[in-house]
Structure 1
């Protein structure tokens, strides 16, 4: 039998040739949000390496939505040309460029990991983080500003505008980042949302902003192109967001035109105990898929061709998203095809090395 990993998947008007996705990975290599040669080589090499969907890193919809001052952005038209250069190269390799649109919320205005990852003061180029409620991520972090009505409207407008720019930049998939303790996740988790207005309290109120953002994105995006949403399927903390909540949320997102749930976990609580290990998040993608009929992507310590194939062949997910393994091996799909005895086309420039 043919390896499931190398079978096509149709989502709306787009067909992926295989099920291997480059997961969004922050590179912290931008200045004022602009893409650089680093992004071209980093992302382009994964397209050359056989991945069929290349998701760009968390790309800020506004300056204050950046995690760090070094984040990629799509908050102004000037960002389009640099991104278009990269999407054109990816498309020329027969792959699909996608972008993860993001707002960091209360986890914004920190330095890049190799610069310490600590809050950046305004005097040093930082800015005021915003959130559902004035609750910091870590006790030592400055308090974020709770968004008012005007701030909520601005978030929706920023996602809408970034979506339109993404289309002009040549992207064909949008992923809304609603995971890992960033703004949209902060709203739907009761651990970070203590509001008493229409955006807090009940489940329906806490998911309201995500649904509004999703509707704005879907309306601004061509019908033939898919929209993904990355969620944290659990907070891994008692009293927090749960897999049951994620199943209910997915049903709502399905009604709002979402085509796939990218199921990650955690990130909203600084001291959560997360049992990380090979494939530790697969069960969440599987349950969401089984109970809602929504296609899912699985992510989290997927490192071998055999492991990825088992996830797909056993119908636990529809796509596998690899992050760190792609940092170790940009050509993972080409090597996985050899391992699974599948015929995956190599770039003509590399064909002489296809068989040893």
Structure 2
């Protein structure tokens, strides 16, 4: 649901009643993953999507039903062998969708409004909702910001379960994960009592591109397409300009290793070293390979890679640290142009982040069961 926070926040601030359908679980191939949402107001206006079209009509009806009776609905949609074009997922997967009505005075409205408002302004927040459990708890919601107290209620009386759920939700938020928790009815991590869906929203991950070259301009555009907050850094002011990199979020003129040591990175950050010059590369990679980031790649030929690795060994880098380096950067796509190279780098970053193999899906050993594709 937080993926449509920008539009849905206005509905919440206007006091409009609406119902939100959210994908809470996926099995097999499905068009969209957990957290994808569709919202419908009392006039039937729709924003968002849960399936790319194949079950939207049925979900729209469920939202209308939930608005009318004020009760949450949990519905499963899957493939129909008898009629692949009936309501169901023709791609072969199964999705569970939770529909929650948010009326003008609904008890969970505070949680929804807080979560939407926080996500819309780009701050970290998790929205936790009880999917299964005692009737008095199902549909309860908590907004759990990265810092500060949570908002909303689960309807659990003394609040002990809410405190436990908030604690678990904050842990998921810290890693940017969206998924379900199985808890006991007292809030402990013993399955069997409650199923809680936690949706996390964090500011965009960072991509830092070092080296103000033509290839960098293409990579900046690819990074923005993937949803990154992109920074270009180079020590040469004549090349590191807004005119050359109009799509970048930040332009930094500084020695790359010095900038990296002073800026914030996290486990989602991608570092792309395109400087292709030992005086920049070596001190930069010495820092980069010791940081808890998602991806470190460096441009250069295989000969350059071998020489650079030896220089890094000479200054004390371990083999385990060197093994984190993706060099030569990108996947082998036969690329030649800056745009083609940017695609190959972006593809490798996706594969590293998502655990992909990088092999064609048509290959016999492709892990198709783990691939999400449009229906």
TM-score, length basis structure 2: 0.26
Q: Which has the higher contact order (CA 8 A, sep 6+)?
A: 1
Question: As a proportion of its length, which structure holds more helix?
Answer: 1
TM-score, length basis structure 1: 0.27
The structure whose Rg is larger is 2
